[in-house]
Structure 1
Amino acid sequence: MSVWRTTILTAALAIAWAAPTRADECDALAANVHAQNPEIAVAERNTQDQSVVVALKADGVDELTVTCVSDVDKAPELTAKANATWPSSDFYDHVSSAGAIVMASSRSAIRSGSVLCAQRAMASDDNNAIYDINGDRFECRTTSGVGGSTLIRISKLKTSPSPQ
């Protein structure tokens, strides 16, 4: 019984310690996005279950968020949504600017990955696509017709530990 209690206590302490650290990281990433791109503003911050979500605001982007989960092995994610099947160039400009900072990548890599992923989603039968390139994963979903939309989620690919 004492081993079980110790395990539970250790897990609870790890979660309690990791959550503020991840929140600070998420806040810092959002602030850095705004500092380097004044046209992208920090709108609000929410804590959900095991994650922190910082909403950003930019013209041409209906939703733009940075999400950091308390699992320290999972890198922050950027999610962007346009209420259009074919988003404007401004949409991709803002996604690439924010994504370059959140993913620690280049704007051109994030932009090309986002565009290619969205195009693949539009061409697929189920309007979904996953596109992995340069250590980043792009997950896209599109809908067409009246009220069409494009959703892009960008995250870091997990790297395998090196053999010892």
Structure 2
Amino acid sequence: ESDWAELREAQTMTLALPHTGMAVIIDIGEAKDIHPRNKQDVGKRLALNALAKDYAKKVPYSGPMFEKLEVKEDRAVVTFKHADGGLQTKGEGGLKGFAIAGEDKQFVWADAKIEGNTVVVSSEKVTKPVAVRYAWANNPVCNLYNGAGLPASPFRTDDWPGKTYEAR
């Protein structure tokens, strides 16, 4: 469980309000400080949002955002919006940052593979998945981006009470 992840989730929920925008900066932040020192890239990503939404410019302004989850046997298939130019990873190794849980609500790190605009998530430890989380930690190791080089927004598909639930 992560209070920072729950804060990011609350920020993402504000996108349901009119005239709001968000720049995902999960790849820019500091490990022990929620406020990144690199303000230039934060500003560039916010500018893309303004150009697209306020000035009707045809520019990619968001990284991949969770759209839906489909369970197919022992795998979970996650579909994304804003997968402009396809999904890709950055850095060494495979796709990182995905966890999966069954009905027991116990998350384990998962194998994840990009297939088009979806990510297929599985684990030998979870035979009947019911939930997926991505980048759900204070300082997650995550590397999913779209073709425009914008990072995927952290998300969870469950609504199970978390670390800050009692404070609500």
Who wins on radius of gyration, i.e. which is larger?
A: 1
Higher helix share: 1
Instruction: Point out the structure with the larger strand share.
Output: 1
The TM tier, using the shorter chain, reads: under 0.3
TM-score (normalised: structure 1) = 0.26
Higher relative contact order (CA 8 A, sep 6+): 2
Q: Give the TM-score taking structure 2 as reference length.
A: 0.26
